[in-house]
Amino acid sequence: MLLLHLKFLNKIVLKQIFTSIKLLSCKGKKFYHLIHQLTGYYPSDAHLYRLAFMHKSLMYKGHNGSEINNERLEYLGDAILGAIVAHELFVRYPDKNEGELTKIRSRIVNRINMNQQALRMGLGELVQTQPQTDVAQTHIPGDALEALIGAVYLDKGYKAVTRFIVDRLMNNLDDSESPIQNDTNYKSVLIEWGQKNRCEVHFVTEEYPNKPEGQNSFIAMVYVNNELAGKGFGGSKKEAQQNGACEALSMLVGVEV
C-alpha cells in the first residue's frame, strides 16, 4: 500500500515537473507572461486561460465526447462580473438608490462596453475561431473577456478577480466613457442581449395615427421571439426605437434604464 502511495505521489510530481517544462518553452513562456500582462497575475493553471480564448466554432471534443470551449467559463465570469460590479458600485455611491445603481451597472456590463474593453486589451487577437473571422464586428471578444474573468476566479480566487475587474475594467474607464455620464444605445444593447441569449429581436416602427399636433410622431413595437416586449414613442423613428428598446430591457432583464 505504501509503495502504491509513493508511486502515485511520484506521478503527481512528474506531472508538475512536466507542466513546468512546458511553461518554460518559448511558446508557453510567452503565453505565461501575456496572461500576467493582461491580468496582473502569473497563471497557476495555464490551461484555464487557454480555454478562455477557445470559441465554440473550433468544435474541439474531449476524451469523453464533451465540447471543449469557453462557454462554461463565460457563464461563470458573467455571474462573477455582475456581483463584483454591483458590490463596488454599492460602496462607491452610497447616495444612489437601487434604480440608479442598476442603471450604472448595466452600462458597465453590457455587451457594447465589454466588447470595447476586450478589444482595448487585445483579446480580439487572442480568441481562436474556425474559420478565422473579424471578431471585432461580433460579441466574441466580450464573451472571451467574461471567460477570462471566470479563469482568473478559478485560478486565483475571489479577491484576485475583484482586483482584476476593478483595476482593469472599472478604473480603466476614461471620463468620456463613464457609465454615469454616457447614455446607452438601448437598441444595440437589446440586440446584443438577443444574440447572446439566442433570441430573435426585431422592431416594427410606423407613424403614430391621429397624433395631436406637436406630439410624438412615431411608435415602435419591439418583438422578442415574436412576442411583444416593449413599446416606444418618439418624434423620430430612432427615438421611438430607443424608447421601445429601453422598455423591453426593463421587462426582460429587470434593468431600470
| Active site residue ranges | 78, 146
User: Chain centroid to CA 192: how far?
Assistant: 11
Which residue reads 426582460 in cell numbers? 252
Which residues have CB under 8 Å from 179's CB, separation 6+?
Answer: 104, 107, 108, 113, 173
Quote the CA–CA distance of 104 and 182 in Å, as a whole number. Answer: 10
Which residues have CB under 8 Å from 138's CB, separation 6+?
Answer: none
Cα end-to-end distance, the chain, whole Å: 64
Radius of gyration of the chain (CA): 23
Q: How many CB atoms lie within 10 A of CB 65?
A: 6
Q: Are strands 218-224 and 60-61 parallel, antiparallel or unpaired?
A: unpaired
